[in-house]
Amino acid sequence: MTPMPRLYFDNAATSSPKPQAVIDAMVDYATRLGGSPGRGSYFEAREAARLVRRCRERINDLVNGEDPDHIIFTLNTSDALNLAIRGVVLGVLESDPRATAHIVTTELDHNSVLRPLNALIERHPGRLAQTRVPADPATGRVDPDDIRRAVGARSDTVLVALNHASNVTGVIQPAAEVGAVCRAQGVLFLLDAAQSLGHLPVDVRALGADLLAFPGHKGLLGPSGTGGLSIRPGVELRLATVREGGTGSQSDLDVQPETMPDKYEPGSVNAMGLIGLSEGVQFLNEFRFAGLVGIAALRAHEVALMHELLSTLGFIPTPSPPGGGLGRGTPALARESGSIPGLTLHGPLDPSRRVGVFTFSIDGLDPHEAAAILESEFGVLARAGIHCAPLAHRALGSTGALRLSLGPFLTVDDVRHAAGALRELAASTRVYS
């Protein structure tokens, strides 16, 4: 009897498996080095510092940053977003006791944006306000003109936060256009790249992103406990620190150093995790598919898988050859029913407008029950719930849904298996309803 496959379709939460090079690098650090970067002059500490620096440089190159020292390592994207949001707000409110601030967000934002902002509003009553810009119900995208109007409505607007790619619908937002609005209006632009970095080309200069928050454990294929914030040079002058402590540099000072990256990296960094993350980034740089290399190859691979899933489920026609076509001519609806009665997709049909995050509803079946059946009967590992994005689900009219998300180690056959499982689930629900 052939054992049931265990197919991981929860890469939007964290990527799995990790490249072997990531694991090997972490084991090498743990068994050969073990030194704390920047905390000793002996070889092991110097070598660990060199490897952590290489991670900083590789990520800076990946996002086309201006200075590796402006890649700040954090625990995850949530930690990076907290640093960005709290740093901007406190930089304004603490500089002048009479100052007020206004931040523009969207209804697609993750709790990692909603919660720190709401906490700050509660702690600074009357001094901090936000405007949430809705997404177009037909496309799931935010209109840059709506952002422009929200920014211009108040003279104390200091920040716009945008989710680059939705962890609910997969829709890609017009980040470059929003960045241009922010630059023209003189406000900071924070881009949440939790679902885009490692899946799409992300260029902070081209996108106009003053602050880019990203995870290490998702698209970059590193371990949990890693992430970062890219800070455009000059923005650190407006960004307050939210934690202070030892840095291994300028230890004679009893205040936090102003030099980068030490200003925002108190305490010992997660050396083992960052050395593993560095190899995850290098794996992306060397990824090959359909004659392409790097992020372009990863994007083409994901597009091919998206075509396969959408076509197998009857949402779009037969998929294009691997690496070809971006779904031109297909509609981009935020909620669509395909050829399978009872199965609804939340998100665009055109792969050029989305990343590989697919959220489904099955009539008559609770999403948590659907996820349990997918695992127990088909070996498909998916996630159910509201995915820490309650406003996005509310905009969809959803109280929870079933999510499948793609990664670089999944194959066309894996996607066909998952699509077949969804077909059977929808069909069985119709029979017993």
Whether the predicted pLDDT of 14 surpasses 50? yes
Amino acid at 110: H
Tens digit of each residue's pLDDT (9 = 90 or more) over 118-152: 999 999 999 999 999 999 988 889 999 999 999 99
Smallest Cα–Cα separation from 359: which of 339, 383, 379, 377?
383
Could you tell me the pLDDT band of residue 332, with boundaries at 50, 70 and 90? very low
Half-sphere exposure of 15 (CA within 13 A, CB side): 30
| List of residues 6+ apart from 350 with CB closer than 8 A | 326, 327, 328, 330, 331, 332
Smallest Cα–Cα separation from 75: which of 274, 261, 240?
274
Give CA separation, 4 vs 1, 10, 305, in Å: 9, 18, 21
Q: Which two tokens stand for residue 215?
A: 């995870």
Q: Which two tokens stand for residue 12?
A: 């939007």
Tens digit of each residue's pLDDT (9 = 90 or more) over 83-111: 999 999 999 999 999 999 999 999 889 88
> How many residues appear in the chain?
433
Q: Residues 151, 104: contact at Cβ < 8 Å? A: yes
At 430 the pLDDT is 56
Beta strand residue intervals within 91-210, DSSP E: 101-106, 128-133, 157-163, 188-192
| pTM for this model (two decimals) | 0.93
Host H or E run for residue 120? helix 111-123
Give CA separation, 200 vs 187, 194, 394, in Å: 25, 11, 27
Beta bridge partners of 413: none
Q: Which two tokens stand for residue 112?
A: 């990692």
Could you tell me the pLDDT band of residue 190, with boundaries at 50, 70 and 90? very high
Longest dimension (CA), the chain: 73
H-only helix segments in 125-245: 144-152, 175-185, 204-207
Backbone angles phi, psi at 153, to 5 degrees: -70, -20
Query: Which structural domains are found in the chain, ordered by start?
Result: 20-282 (3.40.640.10), 291-432 (3.90.1150.10)
Q: Residues 107, 134: contact at Cβ < 8 Å? A: yes
Tens digit of each residue's pLDDT (9 = 90 or more) over 211-266: 999 999 999 999 999 999 999 999 999 999 998 887 777 777 878 888 999 999 99
Amino acid at 22: V
Q: Residues 34, 235: contact at Cβ < 8 Å? A: no
Backbone angles phi, psi at 136, to 5 degrees: -65, 125
Half-sphere exposure of 254 (CA within 13 A, CB side): 0
56-60, 81-85, 208-212, 393-397: least confident range: 393-397
